[in-house]
Chain A
């Protein structure tokens, strides 16, 4: 099954739009079929878990730390104006875990991992390395795409937890510098009344972000044509499209979570 998704040029912008989604559908089906049938590429999966997870950790931790401070500063100012300073811990916890943590993690990983995967696979495509894999009777959808997408799906929730933890820590720290508050008290107040439904679905929805990032990066990378320019285009498109679809998906996911986990 040749790794090619754009054999004939689609007519016009609308044609290209539908051609892109059609090709993405075919690609997704091939990856799914490859992913669920043996042999499983465990070694490559572990390598990708490290690539997506461990190597993104410092970046998401820093982003989380910065977001924690920003929310802390903004929330303290806003809550003070309405005389609701006691709500600060809960505001910080809910803002970080329900909204900012997942989306910031998604966007940071989309930038780092999406661009990396898109460029790596595109480079392999234009230098015929993917063809060489296929010619060696190895399914490139299984070896290259399924492992990367699965790594993104598994790692995004864990990275989100790291982002959340860093954000809460720096948010509390920024608050403590102005108005001392024990960490124990901060956590107790922040998570008061919190339930499984109010926090965990928001974290685990990032698996869908992972699916989007991995799928689009692999798809854009493996359909690349045209040398160095094609590689650059694949990297850029991977980041832009993954970030865009991630934000659009968030709209649907938030609504779904509100309905499914009231």
Chain B
């Protein structure tokens, strides 16, 4: 197993201050068929902290996010959300946990039969039945304004660009005011300008809402811009974890290769 190098981070500082991590993955294993994807990975994220998970394609970054939100189950290992082991939860209890989480899918995964505004309203309609129709409309407009999509409320997902879809996906992920934000390749497939805009948006939201965020990305620039801490995966485990500067100082060949290419 690869050695893990660490330096004190915001998360460790929180631990010293007695603040429990919001998301904690412990010794996770996951295999698909004969392909071992995760090999005993452990990670923690605290409130107000952004962790970028980096690594080559197929190293299990997206699988890690899917495990955290319960879309997949680990072969072994623990996932704790606010200290609660999600493996022991019923479907309804898991639902309550998921309401505190926002997930931006790699390809946005917008509901293609619904308009942009209906996509954002979807979680509100199901979980905020106390809201009146006009309150819901106001909230949807506010969310879409936050992500710069206020002019496209009535458009269908197929009528907007990939970058715009990600913005709408982000607005949908934020609809229930989550404590935890999981972002799967938020800038993948976008041009540099759109990527920069998405990065700015994530930073702005992070500053305003102080969520615990995990961002899976290949984009070094994005990771450096939005994350407090980076974790580089290799062969299903964390090879090195720390700030960008710390990773830069590493003499591991794989780390240097990854950072410089």
Q: Check A137/B127 contact, CB under 8 A, given A2-B72, A9-B33.
A: yes
Query: Nearest chain A CB to B172's CB is how many angstroms away?
Result: 8
Instruction: Choose from B33, B96, B105 the contact partner of A132 (Cβ within 8 Å).
Output: B105
CA–CA, A39 and B32, complex, Å: 34
- In angstroms, Cα B103 to Cα A39, docked, is 23
B1 within 8 Å of A (CB atoms): no
Q: Are A138 and B126 in contact (CB under 8 A)?
A: yes
In whole Å, how far is A4's beta carbon from the nearest beta carbon of chain B?
8
Residues of A within 8 A of B110 (CB): 129, 132
Shortest C-beta distance, A104 to chain B (Å), equals 30
Is A131's CB under 8 angstroms from B71's CB? Answer: yes
B193 at the interface (CB under 8 A from A): no
B122 x A136 contact (CB < 8 A): yes
| B111 interface residue per 8 A CB criterion | yes
Q: Which residues of A contact B103 (CB under 8 A)?
A: 132, 135
Does residue B70 face the partner (Cβ distance < 8 Å to A)?
A: yes
Per the 8 Å Cβ criterion, residues 85-113 of B in contact with A are: 91, 94-99, 101, 103, 105-107, 109-112
Chain B residues near A39: list those with CB within 8 A.
Answer: 126
Inter-chain contact B126/A127, CB cutoff 8 Å: no
A2 to B94, CA, bound (A): 11
Q: Binary interface profile of A, 1-20, with partner B (CB < 8 Å = 1, else 0)?
A: 11010011100000000000
Quick check: B111 and A132 within 8 Å, CB to CB? yes
Q: How far is B172's CA from A138's CA once the two chains are assembled, in angstroms?
A: 14
Query: Do the beta carbons of A137 and B107 come within 8 Å of each other?
Result: no
Closest to A30 in B: B91
B101 partner residues in chain A, CB cutoff 8 A: 135
The answer to whether B69 has its CB under 8 Å from any CB of chain A is yes
User: By the criterion CB–CB under 8 Å, are B98 and A139 in contact?
Assistant: no
CB <8 Å contact, B91 and A1: yes
B123 in the interface, Cβ–Cβ < 8 Å? yes
A4 to B71, CA, bound (A): 9
B96 pairs with A137, CB closer than 8 A: yes
| Most chain B beta-carbon contacts within 10 A, residue among A2, A4, A139 | A2
A2 and B127 in contact, given A128-B107, A135-B98, A137-B95 (Cβ under 8 angstroms): no
Question: Which of B73, B109, B176 sits near A127, CB closer than 8 Å?
Answer: B109
Complexed CA–CA distance, A39 and B101 (Å): 20
Q: Evaluate contact between B107 and A2: CB separation under 8 angstroms.
A: no
Distance to closest chain A CB from B113 (angstroms): 8
What chain B residues lie within 8 Å of A2 (beta carbons)?
70-73
A interface with B by C-beta (< 8 Å): 1-2, 4, 7-9, 39, 123-124, 127-129, 131-132, 134-139
16 A-B contacts (beta carbon < 8 Å): A1-B70, A2-B70, A2-B73, A39-B126, A128-B107, A129-B110, A132-B110, A135-B71, A135-B105, A136-B122, A136-B123, A136-B127, A137-B96, A137-B98, A137-B123, A139-B91
Question: In the complex, given contacts A9-B33, A128-B105, A137-B96, what are 7 additional A-B residue pairs having Cβ atoms less than 8 angstroms apart?
Answer: A2-B72, A2-B73, A128-B106, A131-B105, A132-B172, A134-B98, A136-B126
